[in-house]
Chains A and B, each alone.
Chain A
Amino acid sequence: MIRKIIVKESKEILRDGRFKIALGIVLVLLALAVFIGAKQYQNTQDQYREAENHERNMWLNQGEKNPHSAAHYGTYAFKPKYPLSLIDQGVDKYTGVSIYLEAHKRNEAQFSAASDQTGLSRFGDLTPDFILLFIVPLLIILIGYNSFTKEKENGTFSLLKSQGISGFKLSLGKWLATLLPIAVITALLFVLAAIILSTLKDFGNFHVATLLTLFLVYLLYYMVFTNLVLFVSYKAKNSGISLVVCLTLWIIACFVAPKTASNFADKKYPYPTRQEFATNVLKDKEAGLDGHNPFSKEAKRIEENLLKEHGVDSVEKLPFNFDGYIMQKGEEHEAEVYFKHYKVLKEQFYNQTKTYRTLAAISPFLPVRFLSMSLANTDYETHWSFADAAEKHRVAMQAVLNGDLVENSKTGDWDYLAQPELWEKIPAFSYEPPGLSENLRRNTGNLALLGIWFAITFSILFVVTKKI
């Protein structure tokens, strides 16, 4: 019986001109999005590789130089693009791509793509995630809004009842029939993405398992929408009303909820302005110890202790370069200051994330949005982990450079030049993004929310339609 319903519904859907037109548009958009995405990905990846090589060469070919000059000269950490960004660009457009690693200072990632585009970019991009998150649910509405209302309008409902069909079977049949074309389109997109990704050269940490998980997440999202649409169609008086109600739900879930959530999160847990943040850091830096500031109390204390320990009366008589030593201490202190302030920032981020999670109760869009970017490694958390890795690299780099100064030069000898071999002692920056299991672990909340959304809407649909 269910099979018959599916066949009948599918035939009807396929014969519907509107569905054909919509399907055609969606497929064209998808193909376009994937094509543009693949090109963009290749492009960015090439730029990234070129910049990284160039930067490494610059660093290695500094020639003879004072290690502290080299530390100020610094180097750059570039953020690579990950393969699944082809499917979900996430927040990549809004996060910078390069972090300047220099002495005394932790820098933010610079040059986000959004700040290099006009205001129109805020409408979003024609990327696969745009289609998967916004347009496909619309397609579900188009397929399902009259699933029940047409039976009422055509008078076939009573006919159906007279056949003795169970409400459950009827709903399940309609449910599967609505979902089937959607599942096929989505599968097609993912297969296409898999093919493109595996033909790209060096496609990084692309795993089929992640792609598959992403597919399942979207499928679950579409199931939630199917439940909602069929429920509305069952309850609505006629097709017109059903369509309008479904569209209202769509608008609320996909547009109003995320924007409201963002306003809410921002108001409740605001970020400091860049200048405020910088001032706070500066205050802490000055209150403590500054690598350039020999008058600081802490430096004085360290100096006295060292002199006592080595039994000498001036820093020049110490067996190592005191300037380098104190600079490293200053560096460590500054790193702590940055750690403290970035922790505050991170807490705001976690609090905002929690707010989004709470507000996911009003929209299944939110957990899917977060899950999708996380799996694609294009979420904010991955950006944080990249920035933290860069900071770790920076701190380690300073330790090596100051260490060389301490060991190989005398206090006050600022003319000391380190040999080029020193630059090789600092490895090139590399960053490995979190893998699938790590991402899933971080997103258990979102997974649970999506699961709850599905369970509740599914049970409501089938409880309501049990008695037809």
Chain B
Amino acid sequence: MKRLKSYNTDPWPARAYGFVMQAVEPFFSALQRRIGIKGMAYIFVAPNLIFFGLFVALPMALNVWYALSGSNRLLIQERPFIGLDNFRDLLDCESFLEVNSCRQDRFWRAVHNSVFFVALQVSVMVLLSVVAALLLNGKIRGRGFFRAVFFFPVLLSPVVVALIWKWTLQPDGLLNALIVWSGGERIAFLHNASWSFFWTVFVSVWSHMGFYTLILLAGLQAIPHELYEAAEIDGTSARRTFWRITMPLLLPTLLVVLILSLIRGVQAFEEVFILTGGGPGTATQYIVQYIYETAFANQVHLLGLAAAASLLVAVALMLLTLMQLRISYHGKDK
């Protein structure tokens, strides 16, 4: 109870907090007298549920209505019901592998780009994160420094990340200076489709890798030390220790990392949007950018089509999330 008395000498944020909370106390006391202690529990969850209902549950339901209705109007009562036409439109392809055979070729271009992007980005990032985590878990000098260095891009905003790299990659930028200095020709990185694709992958690995490294590090540190000591006493080789102890025990974490990065990869938008704007052409236009542009940025706002596309993405993400929950549940069982 000493702690409570010391409020008067507390710094100003604590005093401001106390002042506000005390000021509303009579209201909540009166409320409690009317509805009882049990009722107060509902009062405490109410604000959260209101926000949740208004900004998550309601939009989810509305999204279905958007996907099933036509026209470019935002207000739902002005939108005529057209059934599954939007989905039919999106899925109208002679071959799903040939983008130009689809009615909505921009959608399928974005899907194809996203699939390539996610496949490459996730595999490179998971591999590099594992290597980095293993190294940072070892006894190396300056470990704290290296950990901080690998982690800090995670905290930067996508806009800042994109601008850092846009500045480095521009025709007169640092990278071109290094290329010219070592005797090469300048490259217009962001005006070339293959280079642009490469850099979107590179930049998103750069900015998110630290996050997964950190999770893997936590997974590595959760492996009981006794196992390694026992292996050492038995004279087990480093290779065997790695494949028989480290890898099996890291596997649940690794799977979580894999699926988390898949989920995030599908949603890649912000860095790419600033770095390349989806260009050149549509070479780096990914699925979320397609949804954003179809719904808000193009001349005609095709809200129904965009909503249908976002529902398809939602289904994909939902499957991935369920897989993740299943895996983390299994991991905890063991």
Judge: A and B partners, yes or no.
Answer: no
